[in-house]
Structure 1
């Protein structure tokens, strides 16, 4: 990305919609985005969703009356550029403002989504009070992550970190996304770059604590034992709480929190005080890892209360 930034030249093209390639990307996107947001559409002839998205995207850009520009990149003819921009599927749309990626999405989306996307870019470029584009990008990535689109969130976090490798919010978001994708080792490596003592935001501290708890749960799951054997033991003897507890650990290790919670509740329903209340304590750890407002937590807190107070 730094190489691309360096390739930019003063002055941006006045063309509203145009094609570009590796050689012209610096001028058409990086330099041009100093004047107004530039939307980059990565597409290919063989891509059906690309053909659905492009005319709708062109319409949305034209409706903004020059406030944003659209640049199209043929992915088949510009594979090196796609690799630099970490484009992994088509269509991919990235938005640049003042030389930096600030938003993006993948796949064909409805016209209402495109209007909101363009309106947000117009507002972003509206003046000094429009806000920090990097912070806007982090917020967008966090929204993708919260909606279950971890891979898309990773791509936005990566773009942010290419410009600011020490951005704490992006690092924490990247760690959480990696964890959701089952990449515990990568999560640990990312966290090594986070200076936890310098974090003042209570929300970021809470988020970081959840990630650490989730890593602990994943590590516990690795040592739970053979899942098929545990399932067989529980099936043969529903009162085998030790096997059911290990089975819960196995589920949590692979991110199957619902199955883990059901197994733990199965113990609590049969013997609330088994092993010094171990099942309830473990269930609370699952709540901590998921977060207080997560639908999983709210659902199983209600289930736990129902069991305990029935």
Structure 2
């Protein structure tokens, strides 16, 4: 997980690390701060496409816009997105969250250089501000957004969007979460991954076919394993001891958490091929857990399963 960049030198951060010129295409009549560029009242969280991105780019000249690059197959994305939405909603119009499905919007994915997801960047005055990649705890999201607001203020972007009454109301047709799932989500938002895991385990005990609880439990266990781990120290330890199973498992967890799914699978498959019988069992079990977390529909899981099968037999 990377650290947020917008800290001490906002001018440097805003020097076009990402080229968005090909996506601008804004109408000549659109002026910074005009109402036509803003989302409707209550739309603090909006879905953005390649076609509608120019409006969001203009909006960023009035209010900072957080860009959440995600995909449906990405487990860490599903963990992070509710946290982003919650924090943006609580800021009551000081930020807008724009969600980009990278699979459906390849032009935006390319423009933001989304090599791994979830990836979170911001737009301030039409310029990109890199924030972080991977699923991070709620408190870290809050800290990064506080820094983003400071960067925006230093660059003269201090407008707000009226959230309206809709922002405080859940859609009437949105189904309520089962009690144990709701307890798990509340625990995750509080950073209490142990309590969240217990809630999901209870849900699975009551209904072993509860796929949402199974995936949620896998995500929480991953977050437990990577919580507080220093990425560079973990990589250094793994590089210095290629046969150390625990060290390699840790880096693989960090890679999946950061969206580097193929890197994680390649690391563990190479480790499996070189490991002894007992260690092979440990590595295989972690691979199967990560496969479940990423999802069988992901082509990277299919490819890794085939490699694992060929190594086993």
TM bucket, shorter chain = 0.3 to 0.5
Q: Which has the higher contact order (CA 8 A, sep 6+)?
A: 2
Give me the TM-score of the superposition, normalised by structure 2: 0.42
Q: Which structure has the bigger radius of gyration?
A: 1
